[in-house]
Amino acid sequence: MILTVTLNTALDLTYQVPALVPRASHRVALSTERPGGKGVNVSRVLAALGHETVVTGFAGGATGARLRELLAPVPRLTDALVTVAADTRRTVAVVDSAAGDTTQFNEAGAAVTAAEWAALRERYARLLPGAAAVALCGSLPPGVHVGAYADLIRTARAAGVPVLLDTSGEPLRRGIAARPDVVKPNAEELAGLTGSREPRRATLDARRRGAHAVVSSLGPDGLLAATPDGLWRAAPPAPVRGNPTGAGDSAVAALLAGLADGAPWPDRLARAVALSAATVASPVAGEFDPAVYADLVGRVLVTEADDTRA
């Protein structure tokens, strides 16, 4: 199975309105709710691809109960969340149908106690022996120390389980020094880590900080990966129009599956770009279009940029 860790899970609410007008009252044309948080999203994509996956992290209160209720019917996905006293946070996305834009409101999350963090560490250690790979995803809730991901990476490495890290800021800076197998930053996260906005320089700099491989997002232009096998560029055959919500989590799901099965880097990157593009093309935010994925996966252009080997 493939394990994902989401310390700051969320109940994702989406409201669709004809047009978003500041300081005005709006009639909601459509509303949806989904279990959320980056690792939860990754596991949902993995399950849809046919992988057995386990979700751990924190969930509490009425919103946590609703999140778990929505996870329960997902085939091939097992809920191993730790129950906490505080309510799980919510995120609210307001989709402006006229403009095609989305405005996002993300709660910070409630504080986690020392006892709850210890319970998570214990559950994580119990789950690792059965995992082919693990992903540590998203922000840290209040009460969890900034080096938490670094600690979880070291625990996974001691258990011989390959680990992917997808976070930002100081948790990313400390986590990458613990030598995860893969780090997946977007352009802003990479710039915050390295101080550079030039993709090649920043990606190589990030890898020198400790990660075995760094796969950086180039947005609609695909991915750039600095790996032990060289520097790779992967791009879709043509621009894909649609909603980018969840595209990054789909890319992480593909990279994590490739990490678990030891696929060659060109295959991992082709799947990640195709799955990300299929998520953009899907009419439902955060889902992917299987037909688009099947069509694109063999047409993604993957090239070796130079001979930057470890």
Contact 2, 256 (CB under 8 A): yes
Coil, strand or helix at 9: coil
pLDDT at 270 over 90: yes
Q: Higher-confidence residue: 234 or 105?
A: 234
* Long-range CB contacts for residues 207-210, cutoff 8 Å, separation at least 24: 209/173, 209/176, 209/177, 210/176, 210/177, 210/178, 210/179, 210/180
31 token code pair: 């509303």
Task: Give the integer Cα–Cα distance in Å for 252 and 246.
Answer: 10
pLDDT at 31 over 80: no
pLDDT for the residue 281: 82
**Across residues 269-284, what is the average pLDDT?**
89
User: Chain centroid to CA 295: how far?
Assistant: 23
Contact 232, 224 (CB under 8 A): yes
Task: Give the integer Cα–Cα distance in Å for 224 and 231.
Answer: 7
Catalytic one among 12, 79, 249, 289?
249
Which residues is 225 bridged to in the sheet?
215, 232
pLDDT at 22 over 50: yes
pLDDT for the residue 94: 83
pLDDT for the residue 158: 97
| Beta-sheet pairing, 53-60 with 2-6 | parallel
pLDDT for the residue 285: 67
Task: Give the integer Cα–Cα distance in Å for 280 and 246.
Answer: 8
- The pLDDT tens digits for 192-242 are 999 999 999 999 999 999 999 999 998 889 999 999 989 999 999 988 877
Coil, strand or helix at 129: helix
Coil, strand or helix at 58: strand
pLDDT band per the 50, 70, 90 thresholds, residue 20: confident
pLDDT at 72 over 70: yes
197 token code pair: 């906005």
Q: Higher-confidence residue: 310 or 120?
A: 120
Contact 191, 211 (CB under 8 A): no
User: Chain centroid to CA 208: how far?
Assistant: 22
Share of the chain above pLDDT 90, in %: 73
Mean pLDDT computed over every residue of the chain: 92
Catalytic (active site) residue 289: no
Share of the chain above pLDDT 70, in %: 97
Contact 133, 260 (CB under 8 A): yes
pLDDT at 307 over 60: no
pLDDT at 78 over 70: yes
**Across residues 155-177, what is the average pLDDT?**
97
Q: Residues of 218-241 as b/e, b for ≥16 C-beta within 10 angstroms?
A: beeebbbbbbebebbbbbbeeebe
For every residue of 143-206, DSSP letters joined together read TS-TTHHHHHHHHHHHTT--EEEE--HHHHHHHHTT--SEE---HHHHHHHHS---HHHHHHHH
**Across residues 285-290, what is the average pLDDT?**
82
pLDDT for the residue 309: 42
Residues 6+ apart with CB under 8 A from 287: 48, 246, 279
pLDDT for the residue 239: 82
**Across residues 137-148, what is the average pLDDT?**
95
